[in-house]
Amino acid sequence: MEKLVIEGGYPLYGDIEVSGAKNAAVAILPAAIMACKGVCAIDNIPDINDTKCILSIIESLGAKVSKNNNSVIIDSTCMTSVDANTEEVRKMRASYYLIGALLGRFKKARVEMPGGCAIGVRPIDQHIKGFEALGAKVKIEHGAVVAEAEELIGTNIYFDVVSVGATINVMLAAVFAEGKTILENSAKEPHIVDVANFLNSMGADIKGAGTDVIKINGIKELKGCNYSVIPDQIEAGTYMMAAAACGGKVNINNVIPKHLEAISAKLIEMGVHVTENEDSITIESSRDLKGVNVKTLPYPGFPTDIQQPMTTLLSIAKGRSIVNESIWESRFKHVDELKKMGAKVSVENNIAIIEGVSKLSGAKVTATDLRAGAAMVIAGLIANGKTEISKVEHIDRGYPHIEEKLNRVGAKITRIKK
Ligand code: EPU
């Protein structure tokens, strides 16, 4: 089990390069198996455990995968298996995208129930509702989702909750449905647009991704394409929080500033100097931070995936801040860890009330999930003394080379392999 040891208290200066978006890549890689002609050459894949896991699952289904740094070539022309049942499938949430991809291409999928971060109940009823509306029969059998259809027929589907996963998954299956599918109350996250652009590059006919109404005209086959994944909005946001918390001046490069507007707006409200450039954002902070209130919302609102790093930042901001988590009911596990470091936070239901303190002190803490881990890294960077973070494997699921990127701008982080 590896640990990160952080010596806190150093300001950050320099440049951080943001990698490709995890939540786009983990949907685009399963979508690539829908090509029955040619190969998909995909670039800007983040080097994280979640993409390694998805690639290994795709290989287990019979696709040929060759990886070179951040690029991957996927040849799924000879693929025939529709049964995703390896250990990796159960480990990660995004393996559910194989249901939509396999159901679309082969009209049959058997995918073990997905895992992922323990941040609350994570139902997939809206995914199933969409597949059934397209004409599939879906059942849960021996811990796997089994979806099957003689044919898929386009229809109107209204999602009862705004769901990133359901929007993408049903979009994948609908690419091969006969006629037109209209998805209403769709999620609008940047990675949904990215997946739609990828599918369109393969020959799909999808319009409206990025709005709440997505229209898909069914087609008969998809072919390979060349594609590059968008930059990771959440990785960028996490480094924006780190720079604001530590003080100094950091350029966060390879970003789409528009995707970061909700985060930039909150930082500006806190007194941080934020400059948007064409494809980078500069954060300048004197650490003289003002508390603010935050409510997480679907895009373009403040992202739930930045809520945990934001809680750390607010723990050292002057005055009282209130954080309302409206997407996940159990996403405050990092608070008990922050309290070990001297933060004053109380949680009631989905609301955290934070009384800012002037400093945190280093302690032994745990990365309870992916973004909680990022929150603890930021806490370690600003704390006096040494912080030791265990369960680093959670952080490695979503942040490529986190200690190298932060050490390059002045952090002091060591990975201990035990
Ligand atoms: N929901 C339902 N029924 C469904 C699907 C979702 O009730 O069928 C509810 C969920 O319980 C939740 C809300 O709808 O309360 C939103 O869930 P959503 O489906 O949007 O989440 P997801 O697709 O499972 C993705 C990201 C998460 C991110 C959320 C929200 C991936 C692989 N995961 O999850 O990312 O928090 O969208 O933006 O894309 C992370 O990266 O740390 C992470 C957890």
* Range name among 110-114, 179-183, 255-259 with the lowest pLDDT average: 110-114
Shared domain check, 170 and 83: yes
DSSP single-letter state for residue 271: T
Q: What is the DSSP string of 201-245?
A: HTT-EEE-BTBSEEEEE--S-EE--EEEPPB-HHHHHHHHHHHHH
The answer to whether residue 358 scores a pLDDT higher than 60 is yes
Q: What is the mean pLDDT of residues 178-188?
A: 98
Shared domain check, 235 and 119: no
Q: How confident is the model at residue 95 (pLDDT cuts 50, 70, 90)?
A: very high
Strand pairing of 83-84 and 108-112? Answer: parallel
* Strand arrangement, sheet containing 83-84: 83-84, 108-112, 144-148, 137-141
Question: For residue 321, what are the domain limits?
Answer: 2-19+231-417
- CATH code, domain with 237: 3.65.10.10
Q: What is the mean pLDDT of residues 5-24?
A: 98
Instruction: Return the best residue to mutate from 161, 186, 394 for the ligand 1 pocket (most ligand atoms within 8 A of CB).
Output: 161
The answer to whether residue 418 scores a pLDDT higher than 80 is no
Shared domain check, 381 and 258: yes
Q: What is the mean pLDDT of residues 242-260?
A: 98
Measure the CA–CA gap between 206 and 193, rounded to whole angstroms. 10
Do residues 238 and 205 lie in contact, with contact meaning Cβ atoms separated by under 8 Å? no
Q: Could you give the C-alpha distances from 106 to 33, 73, 151, 417, in angstroms and in order?
A: 10, 21, 10, 43
Q: What is the mean pLDDT of residues 233-254?
A: 98
Shared domain check, 325 and 211: no
Tens-digit pLDDT profile for residues 361-399: 999 999 999 999 999 999 999 999 999 999 999 999 999
| Binding annotation for phosphoenolpyruvate | 22-23
Q: Could you give the C-alpha distances from 113 to 12, 84, 100, 120, in angstroms and in order?
A: 42, 10, 14, 16
Q: What is the mean pLDDT of residues 241-251?
A: 98
Nearest CA to ligand 1 atom 25: 164
Mean pLDDT of the residues in the chain: 96
Measure the CA–CA gap between 418 and 390, rounded to whole angstroms. 11
Q: Which of 183, 206, 228 is the last residue of a domain?
A: 228
Point out the ligand 1 atom lying closest to the alpha carbon of residue 299. Answer: 38
Q: Looking at 53, 117, 225, 246, which residue is catalytic?
A: 117
The answer to whether residue 117 scores a pLDDT higher than 80 is no
Give the Cβ contact number of residue 23 at 10 Å.
25
Measure the CA–CA gap between 200 and 31, rounded to whole angstroms. 11
Let me know if 36 is a catalytic residue: no
Enumerate the β-bridge partners of residue 365. 389
Shared domain check, 119 and 7: no
Shared domain check, 320 and 348: yes
pLDDT of residue 123: 86
The radius of gyration computed from the CA coordinates of the chain, to the nearest angstrom, equals: 21
